[in-house]
Amino acid sequence: MFDSDFLKQLEYLSLLSKRMFQGQLLAQRRTMQTGGGIEFSDHREYMHGDDLRYLDWNVYARHGDLLLKRFQEEEDLHVYLLLDASQSMHVETNGAVDPDPPKFTLARQIAAALAYIALADLDRVSIVAYADGVKVVMPLVRGKDQILSVLRFLEGLKCHGEKTDLRRTVGEFVGRAPRTGLAIVISDLFDQEGFREGVDRLRYAQFEPHVIQIHTRSEADPKLLGDVQLVDCETGTEKKVTVTERKLRQYRQLFETFVQDVETYCRTHGLAHTRTTTDVPFDAVLLKMMRAAAVG
Amino acid sequence: MSFASPDKLFWLLAALPIIAFYILKTRLRRRPVATLLFWDQVFEQKRQRSLWQNLRHWISLLLQLVFVTLLGLAIADPLWNSQEDTGQDLILVVDNSASMRAVDPASGKSRLQQAIERASDVAGTLRSGDNIALITAGASVRVVVGMSDFAPTVQEALLEIQPTDGPTRIGEAIAAARRLAADDQKRRIVVFSDGGIPDRDRLAGQQSPSGVLSDDAEFEAATVRPDLLSGDLLSGDDVRWIQVGTSADNLAITTFQVRRSTVDPIGYSLLVEVKNFSSDPVETRLTLQLDDALVDVIPLEIEAEGAFRKQIDGTSRAGGVLTGKLKTDDVLPADDVARAILPDRPEIPVRLVTGDASESYYLRRVLESIPLVRIMAPDSESNDATTPLSVFAGTVPERLPDGPVLLVDIPDSGPPVGPDGQPAWRLGQRVEQPIIADQDKQSPLLRHVQLQNVILSGGRDLEVNEALGAPTTLLETAGGDRVCVSIERSEGRILLLASDLDSSDLPLRIAFPVLMTNAMNWFYRETGEIRPAIATGQTRDVPWDVADESSSQTAQLIAPTGERSLVTVDRNKVKLGPLDQTGVYRLASEDDADAERAETATPGAGDDANLVAVNLSNANESDLRVPELPETSAGELPPAGRSPWFYLILLAAGLVITEWALYQRRVVA
C-alpha cells in the first residue's frame, strides 16, 4: 500500500503544501503565546527583574520610555489523526467482486499523507485508530524520519469492532492527549451513536476538529434490485428486503440528506469538512483539502 | 374433457425445474453493507406488509405452475365435449335466400352477413381429421366447397357467398349434405338460416325422432320432390340449426301477374296482391308504371296480417315493363317492387287478293272480325314496320311475295319456285267426301280448333314442293289427303288451305275464326298470350317463338346485372330457372353476338317479346318474422371461434402478463 511511488507522492504533496500555504499549514502556525520566539509581537512596560536584553533601546533613545519587546513564541503543532477502523470501513463482500476500493485503504493513505506533511513541517503527529472506542494509538512522533514508523503503523492496522462510537472514542482520546491540537477525523461517519457528540466533545476540549468523510459510490447509489438479504457488516444484523426502484430512490434521497446534514453541521460550527469517494485518489483528496484551506 | 394427444401431457413435468428453481431462488442473495441505517429508514414503513411480501412469492410460484400447466394442456390439444368424436364430417348449410337480405337494424348487418360470420367461426373449430363442406341454400342448392379437410378454403368461400332473391331451399340442401357425407355417425350438418322455410310452424313444432332419415324411400322421395320435404327431414340427430336475424315487419308484393283481357284485344288485367306481414295495420301506396309512364297510384290500407288483392284492368297497345312499387322503407326491398312484361299489340296489315270467280265474302268478314287486323287494298303499299300478311283467295300470284302468306281455295298448281322452276305445290284429285280424320294437335295453328269429322268441301290433296320450305300437315282426310299445310319459309310463313270456303261450311263454324286468329299469331310469331312473370327459384318453360318448332338450340339469357348465361330453346320454349335475381331478364339468340341485333332479328317481335319478368312473389320469404326453431338432439357445437388450446394459450399469456406485473411491482414499483 505504501510503496516508493506513494512516498514520492507524499514528498510532492509536502512541497506543494509549503508552496501553497507558505508556512501557514499545521506546525508553522503561531501559537497565541508570547515568549522566546524571534518574531516581534508587541511592547510592555519594563518591570524590575526583566531581562535587559529585551529592552527596546531605540524607543528609550527616542522617547525615554522603558519598554520591553515581546516576541511571539513558536511551538510545534500537535496533529491527531482519528482514523475510523471499524468494520464498516472495510466491507467483506464474501468473494463477490466489489466494484469499489475499500474505504479503509483510502483512509490510511490520507492519514499517511497528512502525517507526512505534518512531520515535514516539524509538527507532532499521533494516530488513533478507533471503532467502538480507541483501539490502537500511535504516540506522538516528531520529525520527518518518523514517517516510516507511521507508515508501518498504518499498514498494520486492521478493521475490527462491532460498531462505531466516536463519542466514546473522543472521551478516551481527550483524556489521553497531552495537548490540544488539530484533530482530523477520517471516517465514513456511519456512527450508530452519532458522530456529532464526538466532534462536539473535541471542540469542547479545545481541539480543532477537521472531518474527512469517505464513502463508496455504491453506498451513495446502490445497485441492488429484487429480493436481497442485507447484512450489517458491523453488527451482523440481517434484513430481508425487496428492493425496488422506488426504494432505491428513497435510499438515495436519505443518503443525500445525511451528507448534507454533515456538511451543514460542519459549516455551522466552522469545521473543515472534506467528502470523498473511494474511487478518488488520495492525492486528489489532499489537493482538494489544500485548495479549500487556501480559499478559507 | 379429453385430449387429442394425451401423450404430450409429459410436458407438465416442466413444472419440476420451476419448483426447483423457486426453492433455489428463496435463498436470497446476501449483501453485506456498511450500515443498515438508511435501509432501516427506507423499509420502516413497509414492515407491516411483510406477510404480503411472503405471500407474493408463493403467488408468483403458483402463477408459474399454472402457466406451465396451461401450456402442457394446450400442447395435449384438449377437446370440447362436442369434439370428442374425431373425424367428423361437418357440412355448413348457409341460407342465402331472399329473406337473408333483410338488414338487422340493431347491428346494421344483413342476416346473410351474420350467418357467414357465425359459419366462419364454426369452420374455425375444424380439427385434424375432420372434413368440412359448404352448401348454399338460396334460389338453388349449390355445393360451394366439397368435402375438404382445409377449413380456410371454406372460410374464403363463405366470404364469396352472394345473397339471392330466391326462396329458401334448406330441405334440398340438407338432403344434398346427407348425400355428400354418407356416414351417419360422422356427419354433422349445421344450418345457418333465419328459419324462413315453407311450413315453418311445422318445423317449430316437430321433434327429431331418430331413424327417420334412415328410411331411404322417404329420403329419396324428398330429394326428388323438394315440395314433399317434411319437417322431419329438416331436423334430425345430425342437423343443428343456428338461427340468425331478428323478427322484422315487412310489406310485400306477393302476386303480380298480367294476362290479356278477355274482352278487349289491347286490354290487360293485372292481378296484384300486397301482404302485410306485421301485427300492425299499415297504410301505403302502390304505384304502377308502364316503362316510365305512370299508370296508376293505388292507396292501400292493409290490416295487420292482412292482404290487399285486386284485379286491375287497363289498356295499352304499346307494350313495356309494367312495374309495381310499394312506398315503404322496410328491411327487405326485393319484394317491394314487382314487374310484368306487357307485349305491344301492333296492327296487322292484311293485303287481301281475291280471284275473279269469288270475292271471298266469308274470308273477308272473318279477317275483319279479328282484332287489330287492318284490311289493305291489294295494290296499296304498306307503310307499317310490320310486313303485311298477303292473303290470296281463289288466285295465286306469279311469284310468292315475301312475308307471311295465306292461300285459300288455291288453284291446281302454285307459282314456280326453286332453281328448276317447279310449281310450289300441286293439288291432287277432287275428293268426294273429304272428311277430316286427323289434325296436328301440337300445332299452335289448331289451338282450340276441332275439325275432326268435319267435311271440308273442296278439299284436295296438297303436295308441297320441298323447295318452297318445310311443310307440316295440319289437316288430313281419312284418305290421306293433306288439305291444310303450313310451311316454314325463311322469307315468311305460308299457310295453304285447299278448300273452297264459299261452298264449304267451314266459315260457318266457330273453328274458322279461331283458326284464322291462330294463323295471325302464328304468322307473326305471337302466342297471343302474355308471358307470365315467373318467381325466383322457379323452373319454367317460357314460350319463345324464334325458330322452327322442331329445332332445338341454345340462346343467351341476360340477367338484370348484365350477366349472360346459356339456356336451351326446345320446341319454341325456353327452359328458364331457377333464377336467383329479381328483375327483367332478356333472351337473345345464341347466334347473334350482339344482343341488340338479336332482338330485332325475330320478325314481328319487339323488345318486349324477348323480356321475362322475375319477381320474388314468395310470401314465405317476405315474412321476416323469425320462427322458433325445433329442439334438436344433435350434439352441441364447439364454442364458436377457436379450439380449447387457443384459449389455454390465451390464459397462459394472461398469466405471464400478471406475473410480469407482479415482478415489476416488486422490482420497479
pLDDT for the residue B216:
39
Q: Which CATH class is domain B537-615?
A: mainly beta
Cα A218 to chain center, whole Å? 24
Q: Which residue of B has its CA nearest to A250?
A: B42
Give dist(CA B382, CA B229) in Å, integer: 59
* A85 shares contact with chain B (CB less than 8 Å): no
User: What does the alpha-carbon distance between residue B157 and residue B154 come to, in Å, rounded to a whole number?
Assistant: 5
Q: Nearest-CA distance from B638 to chain A in Å? A: 45
Q: Which pLDDT score, from 0 to 100, does residue B253 have?
A: 93
Task: Tell me which DSSP letter residue B210 carries.
Answer: T
Q: Do A188 and B41 touch (CB under 8 A)?
A: no
List the single residue in B with minimal CA-CA distance to A242: B666
- The Cα A103–Cα A109 span in angstroms is 10
User: Which of A226, A233, A245 faces B32 most closely, judged by CB atoms?
Assistant: A233
Chain A residues with CB inside 8 Å of B28's CB? 227-229, 240
CA B331, distance to chain mean position in Å, is 20
Q: Name the minimum distance, in Å, from the CA of A33 to any CA of chain B.
A: 44
Q: Assess B30–A contact: CB distance below 8 Å, yes or no.
A: yes
State whether A88 and B38 contact (CB < 8 Å): no
> Which chain A residue shows the shortest CA-CA distance from B31?
A230
B38 inside 8 A of chain A by CB: yes
Written as nine digits, the cell of A230 is: 442485507
Search chain B and give the residue with CA nearest A193: B37
Q: Which residue of A has its CA nearest to B30?
A: A229
What CATH class is the domain A4-22+76-295?
alpha beta
Judged by CB atoms closer than 8 Å, whether chains meet at A192 and B37 is answered as yes
- What confidence tens digit (pLDDT) does each residue in A166-204 have? 888 999 898 888 888 888 999 988 876 778 889 999 889
Structural contact between residues A66 and A45, judged by C-beta atoms closer than 8 angstroms: yes
Task: Tell me the CATH number of domain B82-247+627-642, given options 3.40.50.300, 1.10.1660.10, 2.40.10.340, 3.40.50.410.
Answer: 3.40.50.410
Q: Which residues of B touch A242 (CB under 8 A)?
A: 53, 666-667
Same fold, B82-247+627-642 and B348-523: yes
Contact B33 A232 (CB under 8 A): yes
Across all residues in chain A, what is the average pLDDT?
82
Whether residue B652 contacts residue B67, with contact meaning beta carbons closer than 8 Å, is answered with yes
CA dist B476 and B462 (Å) reads 10
Measured between CB atoms, does A92 come within 8 Å of chain B? yes
- State the pLDDT at residue B47: 54
Helices B170-180, B216-224: inter-axial angle, 10-degree rounding: 130
φ/ψ of B456, rounded to 5, equals -100, 95
Q: Are A201 and A167 in contact (CB under 8 A)?
A: yes
Least confident of A18-27, A224-233, B193-202, B603-612: A18-27
Describe the crossing of helices A282-295 and A4-21 by its angle, rounded to 10 degrees: 10
Query: Residue A96: its pLDDT value, please?
Result: 57
pLDDT of residue B286: 92
Q: Are A269 and A197 spatial neighbours (Cβ–Cβ below 8 Å)? A: no
- Is the separation of the CB atoms in B335 and B616 below 8 Å? yes
- CB proximity B2 to A under 8 Å: no
CATH no. for B348-523: 3.40.50.880
Cβ distance A94 to B32 less than 8 Å, yes or no, reads yes
Other C-beta atoms closer than 10 Å to the C-beta of A188 total: 22
Taking only residues 179 to 208 of chain A, the set having a beta carbon closer than 8 angstroms to any beta carbon of chain B reads 188, 190, 192
**Cβ within 8 Å, pair B34-A233:** yes
Ranges in chain B, pLDDT < 70: 1, 4, 25-27, 45-57, 80-86, 199-235, 382-385, 527-529, 545-552, 590-608, 630-642, 663-669
* B30, B42, B57 member nearest A254 (Cβ): B42
Superfamily of chain region B250-330: Immunoglobulins (2.60.40.10)
Nearest-CA distance A222 → chain B (Å) = 10
Which residue shows C-alpha cell 261452298? B503
Which residues of chain A does B39 touch, with a Cβ-Cβ cutoff of 8 Å?
Answer: 230, 239, 241, 251
Q: Which contiguous run of DSSP H or E holds residue B201?
A: helix B200-205
Distance from CA of B39 to the nearest CA of A (A): 7
CB B583 within 8 A of CB B614: yes
From chain B, the residues in CB contact with A254 under 8 A are: 38, 41-42
Considering CB atoms only, which of B31, B42, B53 is closest to A251? B42
Measured between alpha carbons, how far is B453 from B477 in angstroms, rounded to an integer? 9
CB-nearest partner of B35 from A93, A190, A224: A190
E runs forming strands in B266-372: 267-277, 282-290, 293-302, 307-315, 320-326, 337-342, 348-354
Please give, rounded to a whole number of angstroms, the shortest distance from the CA of A238 to a CA of chain B.
9
Alpha-carbon separation of residue A16 from A9, A20, A110 (angstroms): 10, 6, 15
Give the whole-angstrom CA distance, residue B200 versus residue B197. 5
CA–CA gap between residue B22 and residue B63 (Å, rounded): 12
Q: Mind telling me how many Å the CA of B67 is from chain A's nearest CA?
A: 22
Helical pair B361-369 and B511-523, crossing angle rounded to 10 deg: 70
Cross-chain CB nearest to B36 (options A93, A232, A247): A232
Please provide the DSSP assignment of A100-162 as one string: S--HHHHHHHHHHHHHHHHHHTT-EEEEEEESSSEEEEEEEEESGGGHHHHHHHHHT-----S
User: What residue ranges do the domains of chain B occupy?
Assistant: 2-79+646-667, 82-247+627-642, 250-330, 348-523, 537-615
| Interface residue of A216, A230, A249, A278 to substitute, partner B, most B CBs within 10 Å | A230
- Which of A91, A245, A254 is opposite residue B33, by nearest beta carbon? A91
Q: Looking at residue B254, what is its pLDDT? A: 92
Burial B619-636 (b: 16+ CB within 10 A, else e): bbbbbbbbbebbeeebbe
Q: Per-residue pLDDT averaged across A257-266, rounded?
A: 91
The full set of domain ranges for chain A reads 4-22+76-295, 32-72
- pLDDT score, position B601: 39
With an 8 Å Cβ cutoff, is A234 touching chain B?
yes
B668–chain A Cβ distance below 8 A for any pair = yes
CA distance A125 to chain B (A): 29
Judged by a CB distance cut-off of 8 A, whether residue A223 touches chain B is no
Is residue B53 classed as helix, strand or coil in its secondary structure?
A: helix
- Residue burial B465-495, b: 16+ Cβ < 10 Å; e: rest: beebbebbbbbbbeeebbbbbbbbbeebbbb
Q: Which of B371, B374, B375, B373 is nearest to B264 (CA)?
A: B371
- Number of CB pairs < 8 Å for A and B? 93
**CB-closest option in A89, A215, A229 to B29:** A229
Give the one of B36, B53, B665 whose C-beta lies nearest to A230's C-beta: B36
CA B244 to chain CA centroid, Å, is: 22
Closest residue of chain A to B26, computed from CA coordinates: A227
SS3 B4: coil
For B28, the closest chain A residue by CA position comes to: A228
Q: Does residue A233 sit at the B interface (CB-CB below 8 Å)?
A: yes
Residue B61 cell numbers, joined: 410460484
- Contact of A208 with A182, CB cutoff 8 Å: yes
Task: Determine contact, residues B126/B148, Cβ cutoff 8 Å.
Answer: no
Cβ contact (<8 Å) for B30 and A255?
no
Q: How far apart are CA B203 and CA B218, in angstroms?
A: 17
B106 touches A: beta carbon within 8 Å? no
Query: What are the start-end ranges of the E strands in B107-196?
Result: 131-137, 141-148, 187-193
Name every chain A residue with its beta carbon within 8 A of the beta carbon of B25: 227
Question: Mutate which of B39, B54, B55 to disrupt the A interface (most A C-beta within 10 Å)?
Answer: B39
Whether residue A252 lies within 8 A of chain B, CB to CB, comes out as no
